[in-house]
Amino acid sequence: MTAQALKALIHLRNGSDQEGREILDALPVALYLTDAEGRLTYFNAAAVKLSGRTPQLGVDQWCVTWKILLADGTPLPHDQCPMAVALKGGEIAEGMEYLAERPDGTLFWFTPYPAVLRDEQGRITHGINLLVDITSRKFEQNQAAQAALLLSAIVDSSDDAIISKDLNGTITSWNKSAERLFGYTAEEIIGRPVTLLIPSDRQQEEPRIIARLKAGERVDHFETIRRRKDGSLLDISLTISPVRNARGIIIGASKIARDITERRRAEAEILRANRDLEQFAFSASHDLQEPLRGLKIYSELLARRYSSKLDGQALEFLGHLRAGATRMEVLVSDLLAYTQISKREEPEMVDANATLTIVLESLAGSIAESGARIDSGPLPVVPMHAAHLQQLFQNLIGNAIKYRSPERKPEIHVAAESQSDGWTIAVIDNGIGIAPEYKEKVFGLFKRLHSNEEYSGTGIGLAICQRIVAQYDGRIWVDSEPGQGSAFRFTIPRSRDGGGSHSGC
């Protein structure tokens, strides 16, 4: 309390009410005075606001101005109120927090600081109390406590193991799912090193993770192997985040561990099934090629040697036979190409400009026949296999020439745009376009929007494109309007080392 406020109290005690009241009413802290029996002699403006009423001085005791509530909601007896205890010469623990109810039923929290004034003989003559309103702080504390309880409930009910550790790698918390996943109870594992869960051949992972956490980095979806209490191993995916204290200093880490053992097993089964299916398709396609080739050759020999002896209908049937054999041969060839697309572990860095040049040379006949004009902007160096990028350009540019508008010569533009995580390459044409309802369907296997009489093909080309792009964790899509042309775009992520440059710039 300031010297000016103390002076005001002396004025009030000595009867100079007006001067003291003006000073104390300006204080932001609730304050009141009582006589030796606890009857109120002064109540400042902040106390009136806090209590919710103006008391009757000389009659009311401060305790009846509001009710202090015990934990069970019952009122605290008047003779146990902090001011009453102080007037009896009792000791009041500092910093006590009380919940009180105003006459209108609203509640507030406060901390009292009661004291007594004595005369020269040491007798108590007055009581004084400062009341600090802590309602806002208690509300925030209650909110924080509720949030903590909610978070604790969420953590305990999570299907994922949620663990925290300090920067020494010592486990500090362990939820129920961690107990189910690893077999240790919280009592068994808290306080022990997290390396207890790491197989001996992977112990080097922990110091690397700690180093990243200390640098403020987050570890996302790190797939590894961990050990259960019974010694068995399991595949898990870890997401680890640094934990900071109130000053922003990293003091530990929170870890979410997800069991991916079944997913890994399912992936292995799918991979094995796909390999078996690809092998079957390869064998079937390869075995079909020879009889189809024989059918095509003998039908051509028949037409060449005996066309003069056959009537018109027979020649028509023979033509259908040869056309069917040719279409089947192309279909088998495309199917074989589709099944042979596979992702090798380390793709090369391929120059898309050079690859485009090779593809345009191979399409020279179609380009000349259609009168197509093809240009390109600078294209990047991307982490792909050259044969795969060739297939993408071959199919997309070939389709742009094939599905050209009869009203204009084809114009095709190839462009690339750098993105934060890779490249988007586009093949844009002025052809017949695609209706909105078919934008997804065109990438399906054997999906064709036109009859073979209108446009030849097997319906595998775009499916091959989609499969190639998927091998590199990219995506492919089309923006198109009927009659307005199409823009086929596909993405290729950058290599892990940040590779991928714009060779044309």
Q: Tell me the C-alpha distance between 471 and 31, whole Å.
A: 76
Q: Is residue 189 located within the same domain as residue 255?
A: yes
Q: Is residue 24 located within the same domain as residue 135?
A: yes
The confidence score (pLDDT) of residue 14 equals 46
Domain with 76, as residue range(s), is 3-140
Q: Tell me the C-alpha distance between 59 and 370, whole Å.
A: 108
Q: Tell me the C-alpha distance between 454 and 437, whole Å.
A: 20
Distance of CA 472 to CAs 258, 383, 427, Å?
25, 9, 18
Q: How many domains does the chain have?
A: 4
The confidence score (pLDDT) of residue 502 equals 47
Which residues contact residue 490 at a Cβ distance below 8 angstroms, ignoring those fewer than 6 apart? 392, 424, 425, 465, 469, 474, 475, 476, 477
Q: Is residue 411 located within the same domain as residue 447?
A: yes
147 found inside a domain? no
- The predicted model scores a pTM of 0.41
Distance of CA 492 to CAs 38, 120, 122, 307, 462, Å?
82, 92, 89, 53, 16
Q: Is residue 121 located within the same domain as residue 73?
A: yes
Q: Is residue 165 located within the same domain as residue 114?
A: no
Q: Is residue 363 located within the same domain as residue 444?
A: yes
The confidence score (pLDDT) of residue 202 equals 92
For the chain, 505 residues long, the average pLDDT of each consecutive 10-residue run is: 50 56 78 88 87 81 76 82 86 83 87 88 88 84 62 62 88 88 91 92 91 88 91 90 86 88 82 71 66 76 78 79 71 64 68 91 87 91 87 88 87 91 91 78 58 51 85 88 88 63 44
Q: Go through 3-39 and write b for each residue having 16 or more CB atoms within 10 A of its CB, e for each that does not.
A: eebeebbebbbeeeeeebbebbbebebbbbbbeeebb
Q: Is 421 helix (H, G, I), strand (E, B) or coil?
A: coil
Q: Tell me the C-alpha distance between 156 and 176, whole Å.
A: 6
The confidence score (pLDDT) of residue 177 equals 87
**Final residue of a domain: which of 238, 259, 280?**
259
152 found inside a domain? no
The confidence score (pLDDT) of residue 503 equals 46
Q: Is 45 helix (H, G, I), strand (E, B) or coil?
A: helix
Q: How many whole angstroms from its chain centre is CA 278?
A: 35
What single DSSP character describes residue 118? E
Helix H, strand E, coil C: the string for 341-366 is: CCCCCCCCEEEHHHHHHHHHHHCHHH
Q: Is residue 33 located within the same domain as residue 117?
A: yes
What are residue 374's phi and psi, to 5 degrees?
Answer: -120, 125
Look up the CATH number of the domain holding residue 418: 3.30.565.10
Q: Is residue 324 located within the same domain as residue 358?
A: no
Task: Pull the structure tokens for residue 74.
Answer: 């019952």
Q: Which of 421, 419, 412, 350 is nearest to 377 (CA)?
A: 412
Look up the CATH number of the domain holding residue 282: 1.10.287
392 found inside a domain? yes
Task: Pull the structure tokens for residue 151.
Answer: 């978070």
323 found inside a domain? yes
Q: Which segments of 47-155 are extended strands (E)? A: 67-69, 98-101, 107-118, 124-133
**Final residue of a domain: which of 108, 140, 172?**
140
**Final residue of a domain: which of 228, 259, 290?**
259
499 found inside a domain? no
Tally of CB atoms within 10 A around 292? 19
What single DSSP character describes residue 493? E
- Contact in structure between 48 and 54 (CB atoms under 8 Å): yes
Q: Is 394 helix (H, G, I), strand (E, B) or coil?
A: helix
Q: Is residue 330 located within the same domain as residue 354?
A: no
500 found inside a domain? no
Q: Go through 220-247 and write b for each residue having 16 or more CB atoms within 10 A of its CB, e for each that does not.
A: eeeeeebbeeeeeebbbbbebbbbeeee
Q: Is residue 280 located within the same domain as residue 212?
A: no
Q: Is residue 488 located within the same domain as residue 428?
A: yes
- Contact in structure between 189 and 175 (CB atoms under 8 Å): no
Dihedral angle computed from the Cα positions of residues 214, 217, 218 and 220, in that order, rounded to the nearest 10 degrees: -120
* Residue 242, strand partner residues: 253
Look up the CATH number of the domain holding residue 179: 3.30.450.20
505 found inside a domain? no
424 found inside a domain? yes
Q: Is residue 360 located within the same domain as residue 416?
A: yes
